[in-house]
Chains A and B, each alone.
Chain A
């Protein structure tokens, strides 16, 4: 399965761009989408999931143009939006049946499929309660369940772990890894660790453009030997942050242990092992 995004541009108004001549080729596996706010991740996701149309460019799913024929992808799409709601007067079972009908699936197997999904997300016990009584985390789980209803071949998750507890987060990552065998999964997240552990490839975006799309190892190689840690006094921290590309800092008594990226380190400093987060900060800030 192949999703080819070719020269997509999304323009808002006369000179504001959501995406600018964006091209990427996505194949089976998990693609992690990283980028700061305003990078165009959500715009890209909305265009792939046929919610928005691009100003220019084309998207092909196995050589079929989905901009012209959106229903071609909709049949096999599972999408979990970042910010979504539910119909409060339906219960979980009714809601999933309704979404299944929207997706154009039904038949005898639907009931057992819904039950399986509700069991999997541990909502089977409360499946007959109206959704207006659900907590935020429970709604998020309903969102995950609806994305899997039609046995999708393309799954798009926008910030899927919001509202899940740490244990659920780990299990959800396992589920994604399992699903990725024969599917395209696009995973957008602000949490680099969510992507770091499972993504086969990572795409980093900035200001509507693709900076890099590579395997994690290849991206990390870009900052190898450039990541350092040092201790900085509390008073010098603002100045240090202003002059260096700081990835993170945490307090140790009256000082700060700072992780930063530089191409010209002090002589006595030793480079530390680089991570995807280091590479992300390096690419986005440069």
Chain B
């Protein structure tokens, strides 16, 4: 027990002491504030038909708990996913693999520490929800019960399940991060869709939305019979002026519901226990192959270190082209073969389908496929431990940093190539410029968050939300002119790109100092 506690503590402290956790908390606080729209804001997060609640403790507790259950599960997965991979990358896995710790204890410790990380964020969100009450609902009586209980009952089991699901994907798809993300998102939206559309489905309602939503709906129905009280969750734009405000009383949770929530906690633990029978224990096939390859290498001779013409000089050259070439090579080779094939097929498709479909759907999808190539564009030296070479190189900021940006942009433009050519032929200069700006923007965004957080994760999470929004044609997320075509939009994109570039440049310069 002591051992388990020590491992959990170690994992937990390692994560929360990281710089990226600070940024995560800052973003979580911002998102938590948005869970409850300000009275003057023109969006809503949870509504029943046209009904929303008066900002009393019950309604604020209910809304923020349900939103946390959904969005923290979604966000949280990307935060905690990779905990086993980290042990592989840092080679701590080999020490763990050779220690006495059992697979079950190791995985359970990962489950617990991942849960604790999410729970820490949840506490911050809870504090924000209480602050929101005193901002918007201070004329109502404050009941701590209305905040704490929904969080514990609705959100905690969701977080437990997300933590175990992340481990499930990590164990079976150890190094296939992108596939893990895609599988998680598919499962997430399937579960969310089924739990908001199907009735009396408590057991499959992972996020625990149905019962509390039904209780609130019944309260509204009692006041306004036969009205449309269909639940909507998300960041729903507009329509606040049509809202009808009702007073929602405290939600009491039934035993059946409590058991259903407990069921998900137990499922999470059992799932991890079952996983322990399949856990690779860091004996990963790829590693074995690599070792075999190096053993098979025909290197019978040892190094002689006899160098002819030691003093042969090479020309001084500050050319960027060799750096850009190597960076492009690295970007292309980082992608797996099937991503390259998919990208190529997508590029061909862009030639034949209607131009608006190419622009609105295929282009963002193809760019999204390059996520792993871009996400560590500026921080790969820490990952590969080449930072000493870079820091002692000739003008690293003016040459290498710029070369990496150029390589990233070239990749984005190459992927968008067929669409750019089509717009060129149709003389649609505005769309052409918007796509070029889109390419600049997405690479700058990757580099900015990479330099700021010293981790690729933040950009990856952001890119997932961007692509989700792009597929739903959310205007705010349109960074490549799929929806907008005004000059004002283009100018604002240019300004944004310049801000991202100069911020990244300044941050990078600081890191070299």
The chain A residues found within 8 Å of chain B, CB to CB, are 46, 49-51, 53, 71, 74-75, 77, 79, 81, 83-90, 94, 97-110, 112-113, 116-117, 119-123, 125-126, 129-130, 132-135, 138, 141, 144, 146, 148-151, 164-165, 167-168, 171-172, 174-175, 178-179
Q: How far is the CB of A86 from chain B (nearest CB, A)?
A: 7
Which chain A residues lie closer than 8 Å to B326 at the CB level? 90, 94, 97-98, 101
Some 26 contacts from A to B, beta carbons below 8 A apart, are: A84-B388, A87-B384, A89-B330, A94-B329, A97-B326, A98-B323, A98-B326, A101-B317, A101-B322, A102-B389, A102-B399, A103-B393, A104-B393, A104-B395, A107-B317, A109-B314, A113-B314, A122-B302, A125-B298, A125-B299, A126-B298, A151-B310, A164-B303, A165-B302, A167-B302, A175-B305
| CA gap between A146 and B314 in the complex, in Å | 13
B226 at the interface (CB under 8 A from A): no
Question: What total of A-B pairs shows CB separation below 8 Å?
Answer: 171
A-B complex: 6 closest residue pairs judged by Cβ atoms = A107-B315, A85-B385, A106-B317, A104-B394, A102-B393, A101-B322
Known A122-B304, A138-B294, A178-B310; judge A102-B394 contact (CB<8 A): yes
Assess whether B303 is in contact with A102, with CB atoms less than 8 Å apart: no
| CA gap between A98 and B315 in the complex, in Å | 15
Q: How far is the CB of A94 from chain B (nearest CB, A)?
A: 6
Assess whether A74 is in contact with B322, with CB atoms less than 8 Å apart: no
| CA gap between A112 and B310 in the complex, in Å | 12
Interface of B is mostly: loop
Which chain A residues lie closer than 8 Å to B317 at the CB level? 101, 104-107
Looking at B303, B307, B329, the one whose CB has the most chain A CB atoms below 10 A away is B303
- Other-chain contact of A89, B309, B329, B400 (Cβ < 8 Å): B329
Which chain B residues lie closer than 8 Å to A151 at the CB level? 310-314
Q: Which B residue sits closest to A173, measured CB to CB?
A: B305
Assess whether B303 is in contact with A168, with CB atoms less than 8 Å apart: yes
| CA gap between A50 and B390 in the complex, in Å | 11
- Other-chain contact of B294, A81, A134, A179 (Cβ < 8 Å): A134
Assess whether A100 is in contact with B322, with CB atoms less than 8 Å apart: yes
Which chain A residues lie closer than 8 Å to B293 at the CB level? 133
8 extra interchain contacts, Cβ-Cβ under 8 A, other than A89-B330, A98-B323? A81-B389, A85-B385, A99-B393, A101-B317, A120-B307, A133-B294, A135-B295, A175-B306
Which chain B residues lie closer than 8 Å to A135 at the CB level? 294-295, 297
Assess whether A174 is in contact with B305, with CB atoms less than 8 Å apart: yes
Q: How far is the CB of B307 from chain A (nearest CB, A)?
A: 4
Which chain A residues lie closer than 8 Å to B295 at the CB level? 135
